[in-house]
Amino acid sequence: MPHFFVDPRNIFGDNILISGDEAHHLINVRRVTEGEELHLFDGTGKQYIAKVKSIAGGQIQAAILSQEKSKVSKVSLTVYQSIPKGDRADWLVEKFTEIGVSSFIPLVTERSVIKEVSENKKQRWERLSMAAAQQCLRPDLMNIKPAVNFIEAAQKIDKASINVIPWEGADVDAGFEQQLAKRGADKQINCNIFIGPEGGFTIGEIETAKSSDLVPVSLGSRILRTETAGLVAAVLALSAFGEFGKK
């Protein structure tokens, strides 16, 4: 059954109001009719089966038939990602959403090509992320935050979390999965990953990272593009915490 978003502010007891772009898509593209059942999610982890009661004025009124709260993920994964050029950032937002990244934060470093993220760009990423969540039946939305400066972000990082920074200069034995596995028994894990730009982090940034309890780790002997490194690191983290292969 298709998966559609409903703003949690539009849920009133057992009734749901679907409006805006989502209603337009359902009415004009999906051609929903009264009495049809919809699979909805509100972006907070709750999912609903609802029956369409009425369609009028570009809005849909529906009644909730059943509700399900999804299982809470064991890991809350935040990726601080230096933004690649062109449409590669759009692709990365979609992939992060699909695999289960909790939060995505654009990272501005000394060698970053993209130094600013406009509100229009952020809103575009939010739309792409929502579409990806619908496609993969994800019950919540990835949190997309404003861009931050690397030094500021590193110095403010929660030291109680697992904080890693993949770096080509790290010892190849400083395994990413091994570092994460040290906390694998915890009931709830917060993990922060910092991904550098195409030109890599500067030595000064790595020294700041180390002094801020960010642990340099290796992703192997190959030099990866920034978007590849971000996706690989996120997959390794989620896999190490058992997020893949279990229902």
pLDDT tens per residue across span 197-209? 998 999 999 999 9
User: How many whole angstroms separate alpha carbon 62 and alpha carbon 69?
Assistant: 19
More confident site: 185 or 126: 126
pLDDT at 102: 95
Query: How many residues are there in the chain?
Result: 247
Tens-digit pLDDT profile for residues 11-51: 998 999 998 888 988 999 889 999 899 999 888 888 899 99
pLDDT at 183: 63
Please name the helix (run of DSSP H) or strand (run of DSSP E) that holds residue 23, with its range, or none: helix 20-24
Evaluate if residue 174 carries a pLDDT over 80: no
User: How many whole angstroms separate alpha carbon 203 and alpha carbon 201?
Assistant: 7
pLDDT at 88: 92
180-200 mean pLDDT: 81
What is the model's pTM? 0.85
pLDDT at 185: 56
pLDDT at 191: 92
The CA-atom distances, in angstroms, between 189 and each of 75, 85, 137, 237, 238 are 5, 32, 23, 11, 11
Domains of the chain: 3-69 (2.40.240.20), 75-240 (3.40.1280.10)
How large a percentage of the chain has pLDDT more than 70? 93
pLDDT at 176: 72
pLDDT at 1: 62
